[in-house]
Chain A
Amino acid sequence: MADSPPAIATHNPDLQHHFATMEQQTEAAVMGMWVFLITEIMFFGGMFAGYMIYRFMYYQAWLEGSQHMDFWWGTINTVVLLCSSLTMAAAVRATQLGLRKSTVTLLGITILFGLAFLGIKAIEYYGHIVTDHQFPGPGFRFEGANPSQVEMFFSFYFAMTGFHALHMLIGVGLVAFIAYHAWKGRYGAHYYTPVENVGLYWHFVDIIWIYLYPLFYLISHIHRK
């Protein structure tokens, strides 16, 4: 007749009531994050599909547009993100080992890398939009052949890197949230699923950039000084 949950002998305080064991809860949480990341792949996938189609149709314009990317900023950003994934992975490991201070430090560095990425992106966007008038729409200006096709290139550039940056921003917020709770001692060897999940999200956003970088910055790139 009772409708309170059955008592469990040794009860991890982080065990939610509808799960039978911590193991079940952890597996469910991680699986949930993976399924979510698959939806994100499909979300970006639509834009990648559009990019592929127009690149096939307007290759010259894509080539041209890529020449106008900031090769060095893009490369630095790639390195920054790769490093941030390293610190993120290390932070997850530190949590598993119960190293609270290291965890917080590593998460903090990850945030800094993330902010650096966003800052560099802001610099790039400023250059493209304000200095070079490359934002699509009535204000777009381009000297050269096929301006409307190059405009299409920039449409995809801003849409895809824009959504990526939005995901980065959300990621920075999530890492900050985790960092705060880690500092409060919330996580340890007994419970680190949120850190692991945020780590998964962070790596995913990084991988999206790994695809965006060559697709936009490295099309038959001729290095210019």
Chain B
Amino acid sequence: MFSNTFPLWPTRASTLSGQVDALFIFLLMLCGLVCISIFIAIVVFAIRYRRRPGHRATQIEGSNAVEFTWTTIPAGIFVIIFVWGAYIYFQERTPPKDSMDVYTVAKQWMWKFQHTEGQREINELHVPIGRDVRVIMTSQDVIHSFYVPAFRIKQDVLPGRYTIAWFHATRAGTYHLFCAEYCGTNHSGMIGDVVVMEPAQFQTWLSGGQPMGSLSQQGQGLFQSLGCSTCHRLDTQGRGPNLMGVFGKPVLLEDGRTVTADENYVRESILSPAAKVVSGFKPIMPTFQGIVSEEQLNALVAYVKSLSAQPTGAGQTPTFRGPAGAKADTRQR
């Protein structure tokens, strides 16, 4: 607020920052008012009714009307605050549809980022202004938490599954990234920077040469080399479900449940294939637990996603499609 050496207010750098600040300021004023009123009441009563000769206390039992009033009015105000806070939270927990994805792997004590275009970063995350960015995160070991104060977002990063956060940066600059869930010795050193760039600069940075290809291309490579394509054929029906167009759609399982094929579903299907078997298929897929790293899992997820992707922004173009006329397996609804 004043200067960088003694700030009193965090920078606002995302679309949500202003909304969070607005509710915060409202609460500051409301609670400040309540506090001051109570303090004044106490001081006034303590002085006006101080114990002195000739002054006697008046015994007052209470008043149901008064109790009712100061129960319902605060309750009503609280409900308003709840709704406002929930509205902001709903936005925070609902990433927009065509966000730019960044896969994040947290481990003791660093942040690893994989852009879909293929760039890898450690403890630094470059993003453009004006885009919805979604971080798809998992941990290699303990629980961490992805926290960017300037964006007012925070999301715990768990081992064994993906959690998601998203933001839409509005100001160029470099902002703190902190780990916010105590994770051992160097928890306070697990920090980094989010570098927000003008779109043109970001494009330049992006095209800085990625020998490995985009993330989904890396995933495609793994898909072949790990033997996935043996059963999950994209041209005909193999022993495993055809993955074309699967991502994001509902899937009917053997036990009658229907689940959505999101990142966590794909990840679980690779690591614990018997957990959710697609209806009409046998539980014969081997597990790849211990065989693929988190980064490789991210690449595979990106690849499966690309098999469903509509043409979108940079880095989302799927690189492989089955022959024209191939249809998704009709057993997946």
- What CA separation (Å) do A75 and B283 show in the bound complex? 34
Shortest CB-to-CB span from B267 to chain A, Å, is: 16
Tell me whether A145 is interfacial, beta carbon within 8 Å: yes
Residue in chain A with minimal CB distance to B283: A145
User: Closest CB of chain A to B259's CB: distance in Å?
Assistant: 13
User: Is B275 in contact with chain A by the CB < 8 A criterion?
Assistant: yes
Quick one: which of A34-63 are within 8 Å of B by CB? 58-60
A146 within 8 A of B: yes
Q: How far is the CB of A61 from chain B (nearest CB, A)?
A: 9
CA distance A58 to B255 in the complex (A): 12
Please provide the chain A residues from 46 to 104 with a CB less than 8 Å away from any CB of chain B in the complex.
Answer: 58-60
A146 to B273, CA, bound (A): 9
Q: Which residues of chain B from 165 to 185 have any CB-CB distance to chain A below 8 Å in the complex?
A: none
Q: How far apart are A66's CB and chain B's nearest CB, in angstroms?
A: 17
- In angstroms, how far is the closest chain A Cβ from the Cβ of B275? 7
B272 within 8 A of A: yes
Residues from chain A with Cβ under 8 Å of B274 in the complex = 60, 145-146
List B residues 206-257 near A (Cβ within 8 Å): 255
Q: How far is the CA of A16 from the CA of B283 in the complex (A)?
A: 68
Contacts of B283 in A (CB 8 A): 145
Secondary structure of the A contact surface, majority rule: loop
Point out the residues of chain A lying under 8 angstroms from B255, CB to CB: 59
- Contact string, B251-293, partner A, CB cutoff 8 A, digits 1/0? 0000100000000000000001011000000010000000000
What is the number of residues of chain A that contact chain B, defined by CB distance less than 8 Å?
5
Nearest-CB residue, chain B, relative to A57: B275
Residues of B within 8 A of A60 (CB): 274
Tally of chain B residues near chain A (CB < 8 A): 5
A58 to B268, CA, bound (A): 13
A4 CB to closest chain B CB (Å) equals 39
Residues of B within 8 A of A145 (CB): 274, 283
Min distance, Cβ B15 to any Cβ of chain A, angstroms? 36
Measured between alpha carbons, how far is A75 from B103 in the docked complex, in Å?
52
Bound Cα distance from A145 to B282, whole angstroms: 12
CA distance A10 to B102 in the complex (A): 83
Contact with B along A119-151 (1 / 0, CB 8 A): 000000000000000000000000001100000
Report the separation of the CA atoms of residues A60 and B283 in the bound assembly, to the nearest whole angstrom: 12
- Cα(A146)–Cα(B277), bound, Å: 13
Most chain A CB within 10 A, of B255, B272, B275, B283, is at B275
Q: List A contacts of B275 (CB < 8 A).
A: 58, 146
Task: State A58–B274 Cα separation when bound (angstroms).
Answer: 10
Across-interface contacts of A146 in B (CB, < 8 A): 272, 274-275
B220 CB to nearest chain A CB (Å): 29
Q: How far is the CA of A154 from the CA of B266 in the complex (A)?
A: 28
- Complex Cα distance, B305 from A108, in Å, reads 69
Q: Please report the C-alpha to C-alpha distance between residue A146 and residue B275 in the assembled complex, in whole angstroms.
A: 8
* Nearest CB of chain B from residue A145's CB, rounded to whole Å: 5
Within 8 A of A (CB), among B90-105: none
Across the interface, name the chain B residue whose C-beta is closest to A58: B275
A145 vs B272: C-alpha distance when bound (angstroms): 10
| A60–B255 alpha-carbon span in the complex (Å) | 10
Please give the distance in Å from A58's CB to the nearest CB on chain B: 8
Residues of A close to B272: CB separation below 8 A? 146
Closest beta carbon of chain A to B159's beta carbon, Å: 14
Nearest Cβ in chain B — how far from A179, in angstroms?
Answer: 51
Contact mask for chain A residues 146-187; partner B; CB cutoff 8 A; 1 contact, 0 none? 100000000000000000000000000000000000000000
User: How many angstroms between the C-alpha atoms of A145 and B284 in the bound complex?
Assistant: 10
Distance in angstroms between the alpha carbons of A60 and B275 in the assembled complex: 9
A59 to B254, CA, bound (A): 13
Cα A58 to Cα B283 with chains together (Å): 15
Q: How far apart are A65's CB and chain B's nearest CB, in angstroms?
A: 15
Closest approach, in angstroms, between the C-beta of B158 and any C-beta of chain A? Answer: 15
The answer for the CA separation of A60 and B272 in the assembled complex, in Å, is 13
CA distance A59 to B276 in the complex (A): 11
Q: How far is the CA of A69 from the CA of B254 in the complex (A)?
A: 26
Measured between alpha carbons, how far is A59 from B275 in the docked complex, in Å?
10
Which of B255, B274, B283 has most A Cβ within 10 Å?
A: B274
CA distance A146 to B272 in the complex (A): 8
**Distance between Cα atoms of A160 and B283 in the complex (Å):** 31
Closest CB in chain B relative to A223 CB, distance in Å: 24
Q: Smallest Cβ distance from A114 to chain B, in angstroms?
A: 41
Give Cα distance in the complex from A59 to B277, angstroms: 13
In the bound complex, CA of A58 to CA of B272 (Å): 11
Please, how many angstroms separate the alpha-carbon atoms of A146 and B287 in the complex?
Answer: 10
A145 to B286 alpha-carbon distance, docked (Å):
10
Which residues of A are interface residues toward B (Cβ below 8 A)? 58-60, 145-146
Taking A60-B274, A145-B274 as known contacts, 6 extra A-B pairs with beta carbons closer than 8 A to each other, sorted by chain A number, are A58-B275, A59-B255, A145-B283, A146-B272, A146-B274, A146-B275
Q: Could you list 8 examples of A-B contacts with CB < 8 Å?
A: A58-B275, A59-B255, A60-B274, A145-B274, A145-B283, A146-B272, A146-B274, A146-B275
Closest A-B pairs by Cβ, 7 of them: A145-B274, A146-B274, A145-B283, A146-B272, A146-B275, A60-B274, A58-B275
